Structure 1
Amino acid sequence: MPARRLTFIFATFLLVSFLIGIAGALQAPTLSLFLTHEVQVRPLWVGMFYTVNALAGIAISFLLANYSDKQGDRRKLLFLCMLMAIGNSLVFAFSRDYLLLISVGVLLAAMGNAAMPQLFALAREYADRSAHEVVMFSSMMRATLSLAWVLGPPISFMLALNYGFTLMYLCAAAVFVFSALLVWFFLPSVTRIPQPIDKPVVHVSAWKNRDVRLLFFASLLMWTCNIMYIIDMPLYITAEMGLPEGLAGLLMGAAAGMEIPVMLLAGYLVKTTGKHRLMLCAAAFGVLFYLGLILFPFKAALMVLQLFNAIFIGIIAGIGMLYFQDLMPGRAGSATTLFTNSISTGAILAGMLQGAIVENFGHYQVYCVATGLAVVALLLMMRVKNA
């Protein structure tokens, strides 16, 4: 294939990754505020929404991953997921009914959220086929996601607080429409190659590989901490610290901005340092981040601590998925989905824990629990072997 064509396709992968990230970053940061102020539900029901959303996401993404790994055209499946994401944005734009949002909205969101693992799986297969450097390309895609999260959260809070949630969700729908057009017209369909007999395949549902299990639970706990923070932080800084709501968007954007060089550096260091050591480093910085939130609950410290947060998330987001793929050769879609489902399962725990803790004890205690979970994740990562 001509080099110019290869460059164009890889650039399209990066652009689609960026646009999906932008659309997600428009919706996710303000979701807890949307449910609290627009839908007007209690903290427990806010957490329950995240839990139900994650449960639906796990079930649907596993079904889609198994289908795409065996026989599906991953590009067409990715396009279908984009259409569902558009529908989800429209439901949230025009409905304030909690039951409708937690049923129809969650179902559409679950299918829409499966777009990202399918995009990364398609990118890995295409990179493998074209003999492109997989680790660096994946790190570049992750970096575009972080760039999206630099821009997305401040824009999200600006639109929601100044122009309303309806306009914010319509903007997200428009971004998804453009992304879907790029997927349909410019991304390639990759023909599957039968897996060699002498290459072991790990089935996601088997749990026979001890290291896959340990990595899954370590990843699950790290994402639980992160999602508890994302759910609670916009409410915590306004309700208990008396800080402006827009600061939450700046904090998320600052962390995402610092994640970009972290991801690129991790992609560069992975050959010499190894995925295991990098993941241990991420878990350690996660412990320091949440411990810092407990010890220094004021504005200046929140900004400084975003560096620790960026190292924590930058590494597990960029390297964690590749670690799963290395441990599960021949099942790129299922391995990628297992990684994203560790995020979804983390969201289940995060939703239940955050809602219950805030309802009974308050926001500050959320970060005490997060610190303990981060320590457990670090201990689990110490037991995972190199892929």
Structure 2
Amino acid sequence: MSAPALIFRQPALRLIFLALLLLGAHNASVYPYQSLIAIERIGLSKPAFALVLVLASITAVTASVLFGILGDQRGHRRRIALVATVASLLGLLLMLCFPGKLSLILCHGILLPIASSLYGQLFALARLATPGSHSRDTVQAALRSAMSISFLAMLVFWTFGFAAQIDVMAIYLSAGLASFGLVVLVYFNWPKDGTTEWADQRSGLNFAQAFKEIAHPTILLRLLLLGAISATGILYMVLISLVFEASPIRDASDVALYVGLVAGWEVPCLLLLSRVAGRLRRATLLAVGGAVYTLHLLALPMLCDSAWIWVMPLVAGIGGTAIISLPISYYQDLMHSRPGTAGAMLALQKLVSDVLGAAAFAIGTSLGGYETVAVIGSAMALIGGAGLLWVDRHHNLPARQSSLPRSTRL
């Protein structure tokens, strides 16, 4: 059975697909415009907004890890997902009804970051609900494509919406509608404990033991390597507007078009991943994907003024497919029987990527320019990919099976 057929026949997977559609629309409504709203409309200073971003990062990691551990300890995954969706809805309602500095800090610094834990919980449910005989990479890549589809559609919608003079604060309305849909979807369709066809085994670990598991060198080393690979995505989002703005022939519309093309190419590439996911090791796919993605990162400052720059979204789509879809299943196999904690590893990986990306940007701009930043980021990704291949060098299972033998699982 193909992955799309399995998704639409299995109620839990169908729920995840629909939830990711709504989550993509939510994210595309809020995150591209939060800095504009915070600084230009609400009146936060740039240093104050930077502190909000730091608060958001800390909150997101804390919530994801705590919710992941609690889900593995006690179950109650539906209750945890409801908390996340309600947090999002409350934050967006604050900005709709009482726009101001306090509302923005609560919304973007606390409530939306808490809601971001839903992403990991959705893939924890996907891990539990996917039949063991089926390639989880294939199913999860197909599920992830839903988020890319709605993200792109919402970007296109707001491109025309802003051209029609819709106020930028209206993004909280579209995001709020998506959040309300998530609350309804989770409340009525998320399977309740004890009613599922699969067994959701409890971890039996207290918080100290669970944190010790995450801090094991086996986990931390791979987290650092995957963070180095995915830091290229962080640098891409930082460089794209700066590089195009500095170009004499590019403008903001080119930025929107480029970002939209990258997101658009991710969708077919995610769906085609199933053709190679069962034939190559997951570490190999991640290393190759990271190497391909560096070509797109290097091209941004070097080919910006050339027509060849418009070939790079395809390259980014091919390379980015592995980077955005495979880490979750990699962590799920690494942390056997801990799907919630494995989902939380994505938040920790993003934190690592943010730190490495910021370091690459600071060093690169002090030593040279945007080209230097791209070179440093590409070097980090290549080192991360090579390191991942090395630490997994003795494990020859294809991606549809565990990338690590049971003896290394904690």
Q: TM-score range by the shorter chain?
A: 0.7 to 0.9
Q: Secondary structure at the match of 2:213?
A: coil
Counterpart contact for 2:30–2:175, Cα < 8 Å: yes
Higher mean alpha-carbon deviation, 244-253 vs 106-115, is at 244-253
Q: Does residue 1:320 correspond to 2:320, yes or no?
A: no
Cα distance in 2 for partners of 1:4, 1:18 equals 14
Q: Kindly provide the amino acid, as one letter, of the partner of residue 347 in structure 1.
A: D
TM-score, normalized by length of structure 2?
Answer: 0.80
Which residue number in structure 2 is paired with residue 122 of structure 1? Answer: 125
Counterpart contact for 2:71–2:340, Cα < 8 Å: yes
CA shift, 1:104, in A, is 4.8
Closer/same/farther in 2, CA of residues 370 and 353 from structure 1, 3 Å limit: closer
Counterpart contact for 2:240–2:255, Cα < 8 Å: yes
Which residue number in structure 2 is paired with residue 74 of structure 1? Answer: 77
Decide which of 142, 145, 148 is 2:144's aligned counterpart: 142
Decide which of 89, 104, 107 is 2:110's aligned counterpart: 107
Cα distance in 1 for partners of 2:360, 2:42 equals 21
Closer/same/farther in 2, CA of residues 379 and 50 from structure 1, 3 Å limit: farther
Decide which of 55, 63, 68 is 1:52's aligned counterpart: 55
Higher mean alpha-carbon deviation, 227-236 vs 64-73, is at 227-236
Give the gaps of 5 or more residues in structure 2. 1-5, 396-402, 404-410
Counterpart contact for 2:266–2:320, Cα < 8 Å: yes
TM-score, normalized by length of structure 1?
Answer: 0.84
Runs of 4+ in 1 over 6 A off after TM superposition: 355-362
Q: Kindly provide the amino acid, as one letter, of the partner of residue 139 in structure 1.
A: A
Counterpart contact for 2:298–2:371, Cα < 8 Å: no
Which residue number in structure 2 is paired with residue 288 of structure 1? Answer: 295
Q: Secondary structure at the match of 1:272?
A: coil
Which residue number in structure 1 is paired with residue 223 of structure 2? Answer: 216
Closer/same/farther in 2, CA of residues 185 and 294 from structure 1, 3 Å limit: same
% identity of equivalent residues: 19
Cα distance in 1 for partners of 2:390, 2:101 equals 42
Closer/same/farther in 2, CA of residues 365 and 258 from structure 1, 3 Å limit: same
CA shift, 1:237, in A, is 2.4
Q: Deviations over 1:171-202 (max 9, x none)?
A: 111111112211111221254543699xxxx9
Q: Deviations over 1:128-181 (max 9, x none)?
A: 48x665332212111112212322323344445631221112111111111221
Higher mean alpha-carbon deviation, 23-32 vs 360-369, is at 360-369
Give the gaps of 5 or more residues in structure 1. none
Q: Kindly provide the amino acid, as one letter, of the partner of residue 142 in structure 2.
A: M
Counterpart contact for 1:43–1:358, Cα < 8 Å: no
Closer/same/farther in 2, CA of residues 269 and 148 from structure 1, 3 Å limit: same
CA shift, 1:225, in A, is 2.5
Closer/same/farther in 2, CA of residues 353 and 274 from structure 1, 3 Å limit: closer
Which residue number in structure 2 is paired with residue 261 of structure 1? Answer: 268
Q: Does residue 1:330 correspond to 2:337, yes or no?
A: yes
Q: Kindly provide the amino acid, as one letter, of the partner of residue 298 in structure 1.
A: D
CA shift, 1:97, in A, is 4.8
Structure possessing the higher relative contact order (Cα contacts under 8 Å, 6 or more residues apart):
1
Q: Deviations over 1:9-36 (max 9, x none)?
A: 4323211111111111222223344445
Taking the TM superposition and a 5 Å limit, the aligned residue runs for 1:160-309 are: 160=162, 162-191=165-194, 192-194=199-201, 203=210, 205-206=212-213, 210-238=217-245, 240-241=247-248, 243-298=250-305, 300-309=307-316
Q: How many residues end up aligned between the 2 structures?
A: 380
Q: Kindly provide the amino acid, as one letter, of the partner of residue 146 in structure 2.
A: T
Cα distance in 1 for partners of 2:238, 2:259 equals 12
Once superposed, what is the RMSD of the aligned Cα atoms? 3.3
